[in-house]
Amino acid sequence: MKVSVDRSLCYGSAECAHRAPAVFAFEDGYGVVRPGTDEHADDPQVREAAEKCPSQAIVLTE
Ligand code: SF4
């Protein structure tokens, strides 16, 4: 599975970067997926970050 952030939904709470710092970073006011880590969607921390993103901006896809 792949993980990405829909920037049109993200409002910059930075929670993803705190929950799963190996995969998410906080840049220019948005959560971003660190380069080379977008295949880590099966990581429990990534799943939790997606579930708890307050704007449902984290997208997990097959
Ligand atoms: S947790 Fe969601 S709203 Fe907050 S920075 Fe990450 S993607 Fe954006």
- Atom 2 of ligand 1: nearest residue by CA position: 53
Q: For 4, phi and psi rounded to 5 degrees? A: -150, 165
Q: Classify 23 in phi/psi space as left (phi over 0), alpha (psi -120 to 50) or beta.
A: alpha
Query: Which has more confidence, 40 or 30?
Result: 30
pLDDT score recorded for residue 41: 85
Lowest mean pLDDT among 4-8, 13-17, 37-41, 57-61: 37-41
Residues with CB under 6 A from ligand 1: 5, 10-16, 31, 53-55, 57-58
Q: Are 8 and 28 in contact (CB under 8 A)?
A: no
Token pair of 29 as six digits: 């006011």
| pTM confidence score | 0.94
pLDDT in tens, 18-29: 999 999 999 999
Give pLDDT, residue 1: 86
What separation in Å is there between the alpha carbon of 26 and the centre of ligand 1?
A: 9
Structure tokens at 36: 């080379």
| Average pLDDT for 16-43 | 95
Nearest protein CA to atom 3 of ligand 1, as residue: 10
